[in-house]
Amino acid sequence: MSKMYLSYNFVLLAVSLCFLHFCDGQTRAKGLSLSERVQQLTEMNLKKSVLRFNGAKFKEFVKATPRNYSVIIMFTAMTPQRQCSICRQANDEYLVVANSFRYSQAYSNKLFFAMVDFDEGSEVFQMLRLNTAPIFMHFPPKGKPKSSDTFDIQRLGFAAESIAKWIAERTDVQIRVFRPPSYSGTMALIMLFALVAGFLYLRRNNLDFLYNKTLWGISAIFFCLAMVSGQMWNHIRGPPFVHRLQSGGVAYIHGSSQGQFVLETYIIIVLNSAIVLGMIMMTDAAARKNCDVRMRQILSLVGLAIVAIFFSVILSIFRSKAHGYPYSFLFK
């Protein structure tokens, strides 16, 4: 009798273990619950502002439903053998946005930033039919991503401010971009003042040049050209020098009025300098009363031509940045 009782208990225990194993298998097959996914994402986000996803994590945290959070993903190819220099630049700007959100008052578990590298999640690229990098995509809480959920790098560039504005349009989360402080400009300014002070000390017995109107006029012109071209904007925002296109080319002019490149400001300085030169030639021609009339006419016409041509070029650049601007002069 006791043997039958032991056999019965053993069979019951075996059946219970099989049932528990079956239930556990069913639970794992269904994946994590919504609260568990949010908890894991939040814990990972406390360690890194940009989460690295492979194929499995992408399916678990992005493709799995239901979701009550948005995910911004940068699809990239960061390994050196891929030789994607633009991916490095885009990643730096993307990190600025993610860190700005992570340490801002707008931070919540309703938005997460992630990255999928081609060498870590090639199946994700195949799933989404992506054949270029970098690409920024927004995965909304409900439904599939629309065409507007893909960031237009070709038109807007990949500056952190442009990415933050696009995110605000897609998620209603306003991100104020905070860039890490750079002390290189401050050190350069201190060195400049030190050099000027040293020069004035060495020339302390002969400071007549300080009363030279031409020197002060040239200095004022250079200061105005630097400010008008956007050098202070560059110092605050830290834009890239140029923008490398996915086709392999290089863009020197930003495609939006909300951004610019460093080289673009140098181009604007040269164009504005040419306009100033043309104005000086016309003014000087009018001021030369004792000069030959023919020479004064030539100076006036040449100065007028320089002003007209280079002003038209600047206006054409402005038209390309401010889409829909109706006016032009010589060039479109």
Residue 144, classified by CB atoms within 10 Å of its CB into exposed (0-12), middle (13-18) or buried (19+), is exposed
More confident residue, 208 or 96: 96
Output 91 or 324, whichever has higher pLDDT. Answer: 91
pLDDT recorded at residue 163: 92
**Confidence category of residue 7, pLDDT binned at 50, 70, 90:** low
How many Å apart are CA 300 and CA 294, to the nearest integer? 10
H or E element in which residue 115 lies: strand 111-117
| Its pTM surpasses 0.85 | no
pLDDT of residue 137: 93
The mean of the pLDDT values for the chain is 82
How many CB atoms within 10 Å of residue 42? 13
Cα–Cα distance between 137 and 73 in angstroms, integer? 5
- Phi-psi label, residue 157: left if phi above 0, alpha if psi -120 to 50, beta otherwise: left
- In tens, the pLDDT along 177-192 reads 887 766 766 788 888 8
Q: How confident is the model at residue 273 (pLDDT cuts 50, 70, 90)?
A: very high
Q: What local confidence, expressed as pLDDT, does residue 31 receive?
A: 63
Residue linked to tokens 């890490």: 180
Confidence of residue 25 (pLDDT cuts 50, 70, 90): very low
Domain ranges in the chain with CATH number 3.40.30.10: 30-171
User: Among 98-107, 122-131, 204-213, where is mean pLDDT lowest?
Assistant: 204-213
Strand 111-117 with 50-52, pairing: parallel
Structural contact between residues 71 and 98, judged by C-beta atoms closer than 8 angstroms: no
User: How high is the pLDDT of residue 6?
Assistant: 41
Q: pLDDT band at 16, cuts 50/70/90?
A: low
- pLDDT at res. 116: 93
pLDDT tens digit string along 72-118? 999 998 888 877 878 888 888 899 999 999 888 888 889 999 999 99
Give domain 30-171's CATH superfamily: Glutaredoxin (3.40.30.10)
Lowest mean pLDDT among 20-24, 173-177, 181-185: 20-24
Which tokens in the block code for residue 113? 């930033």
With bands split at pLDDT 50, 70 and 90, how would you rate the model's confidence at 71? very high
pLDDT higher at 31 or 73: 73
Q: Averaged over 34-50, what is the pLDDT? A: 89
- More confident site: 196 or 266: 266
Q: What is the number of alpha carbons within 13 Å of residue 172 lying toward its C-beta? A: 4
What are the DSSP calls for 135-155, one per residue? EEEEE-SSS---GGGB--HHH
Confidence bin at 246 (pLDDT 50/70/90): low
pLDDT tens sequence across 230-239? 888 777 766 7
Mean pLDDT of 221-243: 81
Q: What percent of the chain has pLDDT over 70?
A: 87
